[in-house]
Amino acid sequence: MAKISLITIGNELLKGRIVNTNATEIGSMLRQHGFALDRVLTVPDIPAAIQAAANAELALSDIVLMSGGLGPTKDDLTKHCLAELFDSKLVIHQPTMDFLEERYASRGRLLTETNKLQAHVPEVCEVIPNALGTAPGMLFQQGHKVLISMPGVPFELVHMVSHEVIPRLNNLFSKNYYAYRILRLGKLPESHAAERMSEIEELLPSKIEVAYLPRHDGLWLELSLTERQAERAKAEHLLNKTFERVASHLAPWRYGEGEATIATLLGDALKHKGFTLAIAESLTGGMVASHVVDVSGSSAYFKGSVTAYDTAIKTSVLGVPSDLIQQDGVASEAVAASMAVKVRDLMKADIGIATTGLAEDDAATGEKAHAWIGIADGDKHLAERVELFHSRNVNRTRAANYALMIALQQINLHEAS
């Protein structure tokens, strides 16, 4: 299998001003097509550093991918470095120039001399079209090795990898069959999941790799394998069989599978059951509702929400009894359950969910950060406590995801009954 290195270029990446999402996207896209990254490194916008990295990775790998440094500004130096590295001169690539002229004219903009520089490429490269931007990609071959340089703009790069780069790699290199499945777990820390998995580890095939991926939306347990293309059918059967064994073993914590957002999973469950949803939020300040409406088509099941951050709004708008708040406190199990009941009734929804709690530790009282997630349907209402251990905004994000997760689990239990 071909060894692949990725070089990401940019001072802004090293300074932490921009998150290096390109490495994540490329790694994910490659493995979905039977390739895998072996190495990733980031270098500054310095010619010597770019050339040194390219030389070193070409010595180690069959394929070197590069992103960044292809813009028209003075700090975009990749093209010049690669021309020198491959002992080539820059020439005008007329199809790219034609594309630039048409693109700028259609937008009523002037194609400046600086913009025209985007059409200058090393003479020895194969130009890779950039359908979404002005900087083309470049493919260089050195014996049996390949270096491909791509723009650093994330949406341009993702499109280029998907539509241009991977098809070229498929033609040039053999690949394996890669498959994975993701089990979604809630309220089960990584260490506890590992302990549970140790009970059945000896029963799992050695070809199956297990990865623990802690996230704001719970723990993702990824099962994957790599196999020869000729063994694809057997590999898929083995992976699915193993997944079901693991999912059954961890059934009490399972809330879903796959890579869709929790809001998408919840929306699918609501549509399948024909339920509608209403939300009341205090601690999360509208985050739960925002996640829900991020999903296209959510109007089919989402009634609306109330952000009752002020205690007075909890009583006057939602109708939570004031004596309940005085007796149990605003960040309590009873108030969370009442908020869920009241918003469900207010909006005539099938399901009501609610959040309240403390986003950060209270230094005055010593009370630790926590969330109460309330849920109500026609048969019952309840609330679950979630301990929070991070910064204020991380805690709020986790609480919002837990609200969706707990709602999904309860709806699944409702379906099972």
pLDDT score of 415 more than 60: no
SS (H, E, C) 59-121: HHCCEEEEECCCCCCCCCCHHHHHHHHCCCCEEECHHHHHHHHHHHHHCCCCCCHHHHHHHEE
The segment with the largest mean pLDDT, out of 14-18, 168-172, 217-221, 277-281, is 277-281
CATH number of the domain encompassing residue 152: 3.40.980.10
Q: What is the pLDDT, as a whole number, of residue 70?
A: 80
Q: How far apart are the first and last CA of the chain?
A: 49
DSSP per residue over 217-272, as a string? Answer: TEEEEEEEEEE-GGGHHHHHHHHHHHHHHHHHHTGGGEEEESSS-HHHHHHHHHHH
CATH number of the domain encompassing residue 230: 3.30.70.2860
Q: Same structural domain for residues 93 and 196?
A: no
| Average pLDDT of the residues of the chain | 91
pLDDT in tens, 44-57: 989 999 999 999 99
What is the number of domains present in the chain?
Answer: 3
Number of other CB atoms surrounding residue 36 within 10 Å: 16
Number of other CB atoms surrounding residue 113 within 10 Å: 7
Domain of 247 in residue numbering reads as 177-257
pLDDT in tens, 266-276: 999 999 999 99
pLDDT in tens, 312-340: 999 999 999 999 999 999 999 999 999 99
* pLDDT, mean of residues 70-79: 74
Q: How far apart are CA 137 and CA 128, in angstroms?
A: 4
**Final residue belonging to a domain, choices 172, 192, 213:** 172
Which distant-in-sequence residues (6+ apart) come within 8 Å of 299 by Cβ?
none
Q: What is the pTM of this model?
A: 0.73
Q: Same structural domain for residues 224 and 276?
A: no
Q: How far apart are CA 98 and CA 51, in angstroms?
A: 30
